[in-house]
Amino acid sequence: MKRSEINRCLKEAAAAFEAAGFRLPPFASIPAEVWASLGHEYDEIRRNMLGWDITDFGRGKFQEEGLLLFTVRNGDVNDPASKTYAEKLMLVREGQITPMHFHWKKMEDIINRGGGNLLVQVYLSDENERLSEADVPVMRDGVRSVVRAGTVLRLTPGESITMQRGLYHSFWGEPGCGSVVVGEVSMVNDDVHDNRFLVPAGRFPAVEEDEAPWRLLCQEYPPAP
C-alpha cells in the first residue's frame, strides 16, 4: 500500500471514531517522527503492538478487501503477568470484506459501535480446518441460536456476536448503509500466530513510501533509544 493511502485512511478513521463518540488514547496522536525519541516507558505500546493498524490482506485491493484497526489495549501471550484481554476499534467500509478466517486461541466479541450495519457470515470449521456444512451455534448479545452454515447475520448499531475458537467468519459493511465503527473485545490478541485464513492472506502490508507517515503503524515503532 502507498503511504499516502495509509495516511488518508488513518485520518478518515480518526474522524469516524470521534464522530461516533470514541476518544482514542493519547498515544494515537503521537507524530511519526517523535517515536524515535521515546524511552522505555512506552515499551508496552511497542511490545503489544498497540495503535494504528491497516491491512489489505496481501491482495492489493484495500477498498474491496481490507481493514483498518486501532488496538487500544492488549497483553503479551508470552508474559503471564501481562493483560489477559484486548480491545480494538475498526472502521469497516461498505462492501469492504475481511476474508473468511478463524482463531485457534482467541475468543472475541465483534460489536457494531455505530454507523451502518455490519454483515457477518459464519461457518464452523471441520477437522481439516475447512468450511463445515454443519449448522452453526451462535451467541448474539447473550442470546443463543442455531443458523445454517454460511448464514449472513446483520448487526445493527449496538448489536454484537461472539466468535468462539474455530468459528470461521467474514464481515463487511452493508452496501447503502455507510461505514461501520466496529469494536472488538477479546482475549489477548496475537496477530502473528493466531489467524487461520481459509485462503492464505497476508497480515501486514508492504508500504510504498510516497510521502512521510502521519502516524506510525503498530509494527513500525523503533526501539527505545
- The count of domains in the chain is 1
Within-domain flag for 19 = no
pLDDT score, position 65: 97
Within-domain flag for 30 = no
pLDDT score, position 113: 97
C-beta separation of 155 from 143 below 8 A: no
Domain extent for 147: 56-197
Within-domain flag for 78 = yes
Nearest to 28 by CA among 20, 17, 41: 17
Quote the pTM value. Answer: 0.96
Within-domain flag for 8 = no
Within-domain flag for 224 = no
Half-sphere exposure of 25 (CA within 13 A, CB side): 12
Within-domain flag for 204 = no
Per-residue pLDDT of the chain (225 residues; tens, 9 = 90+): 999 999 999 999 999 999 999 999 999 999 999 999 999 999 999 999 999 999 999 999 999 999 999 999 999 999 999 999 999 999 999 999 999 999 999 999 999 999 999 999 999 999 999 999 999 999 999 999 999 999 999 999 999 999 999 999 999 999 999 999 999 999 999 988 999 999 999 989 999 999 999 999 999 999 999
pLDDT score, position 197: 97
Within-domain flag for 1 = no
Report in angstroms the alpha-carbon separations of 13 from 41, 50, 88, 206: 27, 16, 13, 20
Q: Where are the beta strands (DSSP E) in the chain?
A: 51-55, 67-73, 85-92, 98-102, 108-115, 118-124, 136-140, 143-147, 152-155, 160-163, 167-173, 180-187, 196-197
Within-domain flag for 102 = yes
pLDDT score, position 140: 98
pLDDT score, position 173: 98
% helix, strand, coil for the chain, step of 5: 15, 35, 50
User: What CATH number did the domain enclosing 84 receive?
Assistant: 2.60.120.10
